[in-house]
Amino acid sequence: MKCKFLIISLILCTGTTAISESIISQPVQKKRSAIQSTNAEFKEHKIDTASNAYFEAIKEIEAKLSQTDDNYIYYVSLVDLYIKTSQFDKAYKELTFLNNLAKANKLNSQVLQSLSELEAVLEKNVKYNSDIAIDLTIMNLILQNYSKSQEYLTSAYNNNLFLPAFKEVFDTTGNYQSGVNLAEKVLKVNPLNKSLRKLKAEYLMQLNQKDNAINEYTALAVIMPDDLEIKYNLYNLLEGKPLSEKELIAKICPQMTEEKAYSVISDMLSTNKNYSSAKVWAEKLINKYPENANGYIVMSEIYKSEGNLKECYDMLKMVRDKADDKDTISKYNVALAKLSDEPVKQADGLMNNGLYGQALSVLESANKDDLYVMLSMARANYFLNNKQTAFELLNKAMSLYPNNSDVFYYFAYIFYQEKDLTSARNYVNKSLEVNKENQFSLKLLDVINKAEADTYLNKISSNIDAQDFTEAMKLTEEALKIDKKNSALYFYKGMILIAQNNYAAATAPLYKAIELNKNNFEAYYYLGVAFDNLSEPQNALEYYKEFIERLPKDDFGESEKRDYANARIKKLAG
């Protein structure tokens, strides 16, 4: 296997076919030649010894790409192998990736030459396989052989990748008129291809052929009545045309009642952030059909975009009493969540900078029954020393959202601030029982573990100073059961073992101390001592040097260790 990787590296300059073929042994190459001796056999793409070798080659190149993803010639080789193994969709995916690179001028001449060689090999087989035709379409697009690219695309109109390839070709070339012409040709054969008709209409709009685009979109509005993109493009094209409101509605929302049309148009305009026009239609809806909740939902979105959160919330309160179907209720819930989301984010940002009073002011205009508004208000009140209010808000959140992981987390967070580690641990464990992947709770649990384990450190240090190593080790092991990520505890364990002359056993905890904290300079010193006593001079020298390099200039009162380490370095290096 290593030999194969070596071959890949050595022959990168010889072209794609050479790369993929070099991975396959000579006997298999002969077999492949026999397989490709007739076009009929190539068409079948039989899975045999050669194909199995191709799959192995794919694995090796993919492994190579996991180490470096900017050697683009490997992608060309993958295309070659994917086609040989009939994985045409995968080949197409890699080719579109290469086309994006080509558009950014990131493909060098070697890659383009390799792709050109592959295109020439495949070209003679295209008449047998529309999948290869699609891949050749993108290959020629990359090579800027635009007429050939369109020719291959035309021959593969019934392929499942035709539509994305169509868009790739004409979006890349900008030759929208050719796109319209090809679309018309294909639509004569398959007039029910709605997505292609949409692309045709889009290209007509790009060409500024407004009347033709209007005709196409008007027809699409009838056969795709729920497509808001069609309605929005048609609305923009018709804007400024001498049409009455009734005529406009008939084109954009054919066969809809006036009430439904007002609702759809206002919603469509709001979704596309055309708030000035959306407001006109939403107000018409509210004035003519005051029981239709959708008008109020659209107006709430408009007010939110203007930063008028109070007006936004007032509109949603009106929706609450009018929502009478699942769709409207769903829209109401989404709008309410959005209303709460932005002030909570803003408030959390302020609190992260210690501005708790300003955070509360932001939250005043939000929905007070929203869970995260309550939790953020609890946090702000706590740090403003309004602890009773904070706990009242948390209890309210608990009653409205029982058994919620984030509510438990906030309780744990505040108890941790209160230095009540037992209660904090209890609540954080409850949070993780509900959602074991709650990242805030997982991080807080680490913090709680460290805080609890740190309470042992002074006791351990005192016992070491008193040379009561048995008790010191007992306390260290107890603390490590609580916090297995505490560098200081592993350091103490190593120290104790060295004090007991157990140098071999001391190395593991000292290594762990360094793994958890690269700046634990004393751990390097004691590793040097351990290896010195184990008669491993090279390791001892390495760790004494590391200790000296990492020791702060003021040496933290470690001048004796510094002097000893320097003396041993001189001795061991000499």
Q: How many residues does the chain have?
A: 574
DSSP 551: S
Vertex 533, ends 527 and 537: CA angle to 5°?
Answer: 75
How many angstroms separate the CA atoms of 236 and 207, rounded? Answer: 15
**C-alpha distances out from residue 530 to 210, 312, 501, 514, Å:** 83, 69, 9, 15
Domain 486-573: assigned CATH number: 1.25.40.10
Determine contact, residues 511/541, Cβ cutoff 8 Å: no
Which tokens sit at 30? Answer: 């002969």
Question: Where are the CATH 1.25.40.10 domain residues in the chain?
Answer: 355-447, 486-573
pTM of the model: 0.52
pLDDT at 71: 81
Hey, what CATH topology would domain 184-255 get?
A: 1.25.40
Beta-carbon contacts of 262 under 8 Å, excluding residues fewer than 6 positions away, are 281, 282, 284, 285, 288, 289, 292, 295
**C-alpha distances out from residue 277 to 160, 252, 265, 274, 283, Å:** 39, 15, 9, 6, 10
Q: Which amino acid is at 261?
A: A
Hey, what CATH topology would domain 355-447 get?
A: 1.25.40
DSSP 437: T
pLDDT at 98: 93
- Residue ranges, the chain, pLDDT below 70: 1-51, 69, 125-128, 307, 309-310, 333, 335-340, 554-557
